[in-house]
Every structure is written in structure tokens, then in C-alpha cells.
Structure 1
């Protein structure tokens, strides 16, 4: 019966880099069920950062980027021998379990993520993550915009109004009403990332009878991301 598993042999190319992107399934409804604070719920994002850290520690990507209910993981060492069915199913289910465990509440429906595999070259890594970070900014502007409008109008009127506005229109509307998006938390504008950093460790070399400096890597969650650039990805070791 093995021949009925029609996609089980589908693999990503050997020695390639991939991005695995996870998206929360129907998290708009989940936000309503959990009565999350709008436009951004700090507790939700603290838990979401824990999910990113769990994924990083379990599967060893070289970089994780997240905003809203989306997580992108960059791999240079492809797990599960590149088997796409395995990558998609295990990582999506792991993220769902991590979210449920870290949230530690009773859900009306079990939280779930979907997953997709994106083969990528070094030349396209920056472009991909800039694309997603731009989407984080659009999400930020729209979230604050619709939240403000719903404080003044009905849901239907608010939705109609925001559908006819571009980002600069929403930004201007918010600014005129005392909401300066430049002043909000950086993670709300640019997302968060998880990657490895080195820290200096000062020890003592008994044999040479002197202090000795070494460096150890640790998992770092960056809540104050700069705008993505080649320089940023070179500094953290993602690009050469």
C-alpha cells in the first residue's frame, strides 16, 4: 500500500536553503474567543515569542521572523532529509502544541497552524524578509486604523472607510487624532526575530594563571528589530 502515499517521496533539493512559513489558522476567530486587546495584545505576543523560541530550539533554523500570526524560519540544514510532507506536518503540529502549552488556557477550538516550504537562494533571502517586514508594517497601520475607526463608527462603516484608504491616509488620520505610530513599540511595526548571538565570557586559565576571554552563543529574541538590510543579516551570520 506504500504506493498510495503519492507525495511521500517529494523532497526539497539537496544542499539548498529553505524557508518554512507557518500561519495561524483562523486566528481572527481565536482572537475573539480569547478576547484579545486590540490592536495589539502584549500577552499574546509574549506567548508567540515563546513559540518562536521553542521552534528555534527544536529544529535549529538559523533565523526566525514573526509578526501577527505568521512565523518564517530560515534553514541552511534542511531537516527530515528534505521530506516536504514531514517538514510541513511536524512543524505545524509542533507550533500548534507549543502555542497551546504556552498559552495555558482552555480554547473553544484547538489552535492550529498551516505550513509551506519555500526554497530560496542567498540572493533572495533579504528580499523575502524585507517583503514580510513590509507586510508587518502594513498590518500595524491597518490594525491601528481599524481599531480607531471602530471606536468612532459601527463595524460596517469602519470597514467601508478603511477599504477606501491607503497606508498614508490611515497614518495621517491617526496622527491628526493623537496617535503617532512612530511612538509605538518597535515589535508592533517590524515584528520580532530569534537568532543566535555571542556573549563574552571571562574565565580564568589556571595553567597560564591569567584571565581568558571566550565567546559563547545563546538564543536571542530581538524585540527591537532594525529595518532588514544586508548589513543586518551579515552581522548575525545569515549572509556572508
Structure 2
């Protein structure tokens, strides 16, 4: 019967970095069940940031980025001998378990995440994360736009109105109604990331009888991300 497991031998390309992108399944329904605050629920993002930290540490990631209910996990040391089925199933189930563990709530149905694998090289890492950060900005504009419209119109009318507006129209509309998205918290516009950061440690070297400086890395959750650039990823040593 082992022969029927036709996808079990499918592997990612050898010596390739990969991105595992996770998306919450039907999280619009989960948001209703949990009565999340619109357009952004602070507790939800605290939970998602903890999930990202768990993923970072469990799978020895280089970089984890999240916005909304989406998480992108950059891996250099690919686990499970690169087996696609194993990577997708274990990381998706780990993510859902971590989410439940950190969320103090009674769920009407179990939350789930889907998972996909994207092989990537260093030259494309910046482009990928800029693409997702641009989507975070679009999500921010649209979320604030629809939330404001729903205070003035029925759900159907609000959705009809926003569907006829492009991003700059929504941005201008909100500004005209006293909502300046430039003043919104950074994480709502640019997302949240988890990566390693170095801290300076000064200690006394008894043998040489003098102070000595060293650097130690620690896991850092960044709620104040800049707009992604080559310099940012080089500074945190994600790309060389």
C-alpha cells in the first residue's frame, strides 16, 4: 500500500532556501466568532506575533513576517529532508496549535492554516517580502476604508462603494473624513517581523584586566518595521 503514497517523495530543490507561506482558513468567520475589533484587533496581533516567534524558534527560521492572518517563514535549513508533504502538514498544524495555545478564547470550530512552499534564492528575498509588505499596506487601506463605510452604510452598500474605489481614492476619502493613515501604528501599515538581532555586552576580562565587548544574538519581534530595502535585510544578515 506504500506505493499509493504517490506524493510522499516530492521534495523541494536541493540546496534551496524556501519560504513557507501560511494563511488562516476562513478567518473572516473566526473574526466574527471571536468578536474581533475592526479594523485591527490588538489582542489578535499580539497572538499572531507570539505564533511567529514560536515558528521562528521551532524551525530555526531566518526571518518571519506577518500581516493580517498571513505568515511567511524564510528557511535556510530546510526540515524533514525537504519533503513537501511533511513540511506543509507539520508547519501548518504547528501554527494552528500555537494560535490556540496563545489565544484565551473558546473557539466554535478549530482554527486552521493552509501552507504552501516557495523555493527562493537570495536575489529574490527582498522582492518577495516587498511584495507582501505592499499587500500589508493595501490591506491596511482597505480595512480602514470598509470599517469607516460600515459606520455610514449597510454592509452591502459599504462593500459596493469600496469595490468602486482604488487605493488612492480610499486613502483620500479617509483623509477627507478625518482619518490620516500616516498616523496609524506602523505594524498596521507594514506588518510585524521576527528575526535575530545582536546586542552589545560589556564584561570584565580578568585575565587581561580590562573591559571586553562582545555581541550576542537574541530573537527580536519588530513592530516598527521600515519599508523593506536591501539595506534592512543586509543589516539583519538575512541576505549577504
* TM-score normalised per structure 1: 0.99
Hey, what does 2:116 align to over in structure 1? 116
Q: What is the alpha-carbon distance in structure 1 between the residues aligned to residue 196 and residue 101 of structure 2?
A: 24
Map of 1:14 onto structure 2: 14
Tell me which residue corresponds to 1:41. 41
Per-residue deviation at 1:212? 1.3
Deviation at 1:104, TM superposition (A): 2.4
- Where in structure 1 do 4 or more consecutive aligned residues deviate above 2 Å? none
The alpha-carbon deviation at position 2 of structure 1 amounts to: 1.1
Corresponding residue of 1:210: 210
Q: CA deviation at 1:145?
A: 0.1
Moved more, 183-192 or 74-83: 74-83
- What is the TM-score normalised by the length of structure 2? 0.99
For residue 196 of structure 2, what is the aligned residue in structure 1? 196
Aligned to 1:234: 234
Equivalent residue of 2:233, what SS? helix
**Equivalence for 1:4:** 4
SS across alignment from 1:49: helix
Equivalent residue number for residue 62 of structure 2: 62
Displacement, 1:76? 1.2
In structure 1, distance between residues paired with 2:215 and 2:229: 25
C-alpha separation in 1, matches of 2:190 and 2:131: 11
Q: Which runs of 5+ in 2 are unaligned?
A: none
SS at match of 1:91: helix
C-alpha separation between the residues in 2 aligned to 1:122 and 1:217? Answer: 22
1:60-100 CA distance string (max 9 Å, x none): 11000000000001111111110110100000000000000
Give the secondary structure class of the aligned counterpart of 2:46.
Answer: helix
Corresponding pairs, count: 240
Shift of 1:37: 0.3
- Residue 202 of structure 1 aligns to a residue whose secondary structure is strand
Instruction: Mark the runs of 5 or more structure 1 residues left unpaired by the alignment.
Output: none
Shift of residue 205, structure 1, vs aligned partner: 1.2
RMSD: 0.6
